[in-house]
A and B are shown apart, each in its own frame.
Chain A
Amino acid sequence: MTDMLKEMAECCPVSGREGRLLRYIKSRLEKGEAYIDGMGNLAVTVKGREKHEGGSTVFAVGCDIPGFFATSVSEDGKVYFSPTFPVEDLSELSGRTVVYSGKEYKILSAAKDAEKTRLTDLYVDAGVPGASEFRPGTWFSFRSDIKEEDGKITGICCSVLSLVKTVIDAVNSLEPEYDTGFLFSVMKIQGGRGLASLGYDFDVGRAVILRASEIKKDHPTVLVKDCRLIPPSGLVRLLTEAAGKAGVPYDVSGITGRESDLSNAVLSGRGNSVISVVLPASGVLTDSESVTESSLRELRDLILAVSAV
């Protein structure tokens, strides 16, 4: 399990630079027709025995992890950068370890007062005058030390990557009655921009957006209200009934916030019926980020149950 997560982390799939990871995912798929769409997502269709008249069920999962783009490199080798994810307290980045091209670097801060840290105070000391391996546009991410212990997977970015792995597992074990779509999407952290192609890639009957999030639940959680999205009640019923029938434990919740903007998924193409399901995670974006193996199994079973409807 963790070997695959580590390999995925090495692809450094920060927002907008997921290509290497998507090629890796494609290589791990044992079934389905896959292609890279106009937004850069990997769209996969697993053919069923027939096509559903009401359109396919499509599962979408964001593949990007938080990272940084180098913005400028000073003559003494300081690499300034911009994060691809929202950071409320910039001082928390100081001292963190990032990885670029297999090498580890520390984020340092020139701020005299930590509370007043500005982005321009932070830099990576490449230690080389000119730091020729970096240029504006070079991307890098946090060092990820993913471990598996006592039924838990821990390590920064483990929640997103284990969610992606779960979806790969689901694709590989699926024997659908009807055509089923999977979208390994890009730029989830950037307001779900990759989802703009959902309605172009598939004849969508219903779309289930899978994501990992800090939520105090024990099982995969069906959201009856999400940021800028209230799913059709019929879709909530479809998911919960499918899970109940298959004996898959699940929770239901309604959360709001800026974390996920699914309007791109709803508005894509001719408009889509969308719901989201959350994999409970804790300590997201810290070294103690974790998800449980049981919830990952439950999520895979939920995908299989819903695609059988």
Chain B
Amino acid sequence: MKNISENTGLALLEKLCSIIAPTGCERNVSRFIEDLLADIGGVTLSRDSVGNLYALKKGNGKSGLRIMVSAHMDEVGFYISGIEGDGLLSFSACGGITDSVLAGKAVSIISNDGETVSGVISAKPVHLLSAKEREAYTPAQDLRIDIGASSKEDAERYVKVGSAGSFDSDFTYFGEGSMICGRAIDDRIGCAIMCDLIYEMKDCEPDFDICFAFTTREEIGFSGALHAAEYFRPDLAIVLESTAVSDLAGVPDSSKVAVAGNGPTVSFMDRGTIYRDEIFRFVLETAKKRCIMMQPKKFVSGGNDAKYIHQANGGTAALNISVPTRYLHSASCVIAKEDFRSAEKLVSALLDTDPEVLSDLITEVRK
């Protein structure tokens, strides 16, 4: 990495989103981040046996607090489960992907030589569908990936059973540049925010130790974050995520989780965690004081690494900040550019909090 400005902010997000790394293949992302952070300096890098990457920013010793910021490196994708005689590939989804987002999509598969091979998820054109077939999405088990191979032997030159892949789509700006569409925004956006924060802090010493944990295996619900929390034993963990929003036509206001463009969300509860009210309110107040746009997550849905972190070590205080993302777990995730910036500002503001205030907060939680 020669030019640091090409590896921060949206430019960095774009690069991270271009890496194919479904659960189990996070190494592709962690290698990239490791190289990047080695160039930035100011942090101690290490790995663990489940593939988590840690960047430890040592504090100046003023406070004994230990804060962990985490984001997961994996994305939803699929694994090749069979290669047929005609060279078409059957596959199994890895993570929460619905049938409705599959047919006709371009994909990239990690090939036998570690590069990628392009393909398309086959779909019968509407002209060939029966009336009944038109009524429902084709289930994943009936879909195949076409990599242009003419036979099983030909396909096996590029991929094998067990090869992993994911959607392939470009990172683009639209809506007069205010919106971003891309693949794997969940959760490369969290990774990008952490890299940016490390870059911002490269020449300073925080008052307490901060461990940036790039974690594995979130999308299949077997969380590398649990190991991260057990490894670092934080007093407080900030989990960065992207959250599904439904600010779409036909969805009533009461079902809208959040609105893209109104700032990152902060959760009081999701399917995996009930966050401490004191911490939830503290984040809201911090955002208000620093004039950072944010919104409480308004619908109880989804889950994230906080589920494991908050139960680690006999209980760990955790909070979740997510970037509202339309069409999550699809080839075309959409975020508002400003939400990315606001999320960075909010995490930065939390890490910039007086350590005594943070200590009091953690003590308050335990009263």
Contacts and interface: CB of A to CB of B under 8 A. Distances in A.
B314 A136 contact: no
B56 interface: no
B259 to A, nearest CB: 11
B209 to A, nearest CB: 18
Contacts of B299: 71-72, 82
Candidate in A17, A37, A136, A268 with the most chain B CB atoms within 10 angstroms? A136
A71 B298 contact: yes
Contacts of B280: 137
A226 to B, nearest CB: 20
Contacts of A99: none
A234 to B, nearest CB: 26
A36 B367 contact: yes
A74 interface: yes
Nearest to B297: A136
A40 interface: yes
Interface stretch (B87-95, B249-257, B320-328): B249-257
Interface string A239-279: 00000000000000000000000001000110000000000
Given A69-B300, A120-B255, A38 B315 contact: yes
Interface stretch (A50-58, A193-201, A290-298): A193-201
Given A38-B366, A69-B300, A82-B299, A197 B315 contact: yes
B254 A200 contact: no
Interface in A14-53: 15-17, 19, 23, 35-41
Interface stretch (B2-10, B69-77, B126-134, B269-277): B269-277
Which bracket fits the contact residues of B? 20 to 34
Contacts of A41: 315
Interface string B334-367: 0000000000000000000000000000000111
Interface in A53-95: 69, 71-72, 74, 78, 80, 82, 84
Interface in B40-86: none
B298 A37 contact: no
B274 A190 contact: yes
Which bracket fits the contact residues of A? 35 or more
Contact of B315 (A19, A69, A74, A196): A196
B254 A39 contact: no
Interface in A134-182: 135-137
A184 interface: no
B311 interface: yes
B255 to A, nearest CB: 5
A72 B316 CA distance: 27
B314 A71 contact: no
Contacts of B317: 38
Interface string B219-258: 0000000000000000000000000000000001111100
Nearest to A75: B253
Nearest to A137: B268
B274 A136 contact: no
A68 to B, nearest CB: 10
B311 A193 contact: yes
A264 B314 contact: no
Nearest to A17: B277
Contacts of B311: 39, 193, 196-197, 264
B172 interface: no
A38 B316 contact: yes
Given A136-B296, A136-B298, A15 B314 contact: no
A38 B314 contact: yes
A35 B298 CA distance: 33
B276 A135 contact: no
B283 to A, nearest CB: 11
B313 interface: yes
Nearest to B274: A16
B296 A200 contact: no
Contact of A84 (B253, B274, B296, B297): B274
Nearest to A195: B311
Contact of B254 (A23, A123, A137, A187): A123
Interface string B295-319: 0111110000000001111111100
29 contacts: A16-B276, A17-B274, A35-B366, A36-B367, A38-B313, A38-B366, A39-B311, A39-B314, A40-B276, A40-B366, A69-B268, A71-B299, A72-B253, A72-B298, A74-B253, A80-B254, A82-B269, A137-B268, A137-B269, A137-B277, A137-B281, A137-B296, A196-B311, A196-B312, A196-B314, A197-B314, A200-B313, A264-B311, A268-B314
Given A135-B296, A197-B314, 8 more contacts: A19-B367, A69-B268, A82-B300, A136-B297, A137-B280, A190-B274, A193-B310, A201-B314
Interface of A: 15-17, 19, 23, 35-41, 69, 71-72, 74, 78, 80, 82, 84, 120, 123, 135-137, 187, 190, 193, 196-197, 199-201, 264, 268-269
- List the 10 shortest-distance A-B pairs measured between CB atoms, nearest first: A38-B315, A200-B314, A16-B274, A39-B315, A137-B268, A197-B314, A196-B311, A82-B300, A80-B254, A136-B296
